[in-house]
Amino acid sequence: MALLAIDGHVHLHDFDDPAPVIRRAVQSSVIRMVSVGMDRESNRRSLELAERFPYRVLPAVGYHPWSIRAEEVEATLEDMAKQLPRCVALGEVGLDYRVKVKKELQKEVFSRALELAREQDRPVIVHSRFSHQRCLSMVLEEGVRRAVFHWYSGPEDVLDRILDAGYYVSATPALALRTKHRSAMERAPLDRILVETDAPVRYQGRRAEPVHVWTTLKALAEIKNRSLEEITRRTTENALAFFGLGPLEETPPCDCP
């Protein structure tokens, strides 16, 4: 059987024309992509893409800390509450202590988003740049059942607490570039790792696409000293469990234009 992979975190709304991006991914056996939102407009686009490319694009609605505007908070969260039943996850949400958005406002939005996820029993995709400890504390306090700490590059003691809580961390193509990210993936057990691209972020000047999840998988195989086949199979199984998805074998042939 061919290796089948899932990109657990991609911002498809950021591509001018996502159709060829999705097609290239599916042709390379990256057959499902979690389209992650950041605000009202990107959430809307993710849901539209999921309708346009069923089985391939799996929507997640979120409110990224970079995108928070005080005058938009109520409308954005209200929309998310209505949209979440159609989604596989809530995200991207969290905290970022390197942006100018006031920390108290970030924490208010994150807390309310976590409450939504708990109420609707959806997994959470957590952005935790320079705020790893606080994000974990808030996720635990809210009683969220499933969470993944996106592109984890934080302290080892916080990583250990994330893993002890049964949560996941995700690996990106930055494994080849970032020492802290690489160290975290070396420490995390394979059954607690998801793989992603965070496309269209750039790595070494190259704009990522979901097809580049194979870059992540190959780097992870090297770090773990396992075969690409085993790494792909196990991280795909992790994603299926985390997002509550059916077997990939049930996915119909590509209908991408």
Q: Where is the binding site, in residues?
A: 9, 11, 92, 127, 150, 198
Dist. CA 8–CA 156, nearest whole Å: 23
Q: Where is the binding site for a divalent metal cation, in residues?
A: 9, 11, 92, 127, 150, 198
Where helices occur in the chain by DSSP H, the ranges are 18-27, 40-52, 73-83, 103-120, 132-142, 156-164, 179-187, 213-224, 228-243
Dist. CA 207–CA 55, nearest whole Å: 24
User: CB-based contacts of 194: which residues, under 8 Å, 6+ apart?
Assistant: 8, 9, 148, 168, 169, 170, 171, 235, 238, 239, 242
Contacts of 178-185 with C-beta under 8 Å, sequence gap 24+, read 178/153, 180/153, 180/154, 181/151, 181/152, 181/153, 182/223, 183/156, 184/152, 184/153, 184/154, 184/156, 184/159, 185/152, 185/220, 185/223
Decide if 110 contacts 117 (C-beta within 8 A).
no
Q: Which amino acid belongs to residue 132? A: H
Decide if 149 contacts 162 (C-beta within 8 A).
yes
- Measured at the CA of 236, the angle between CA 235 and CA 242, to 5 degrees, comes to 85
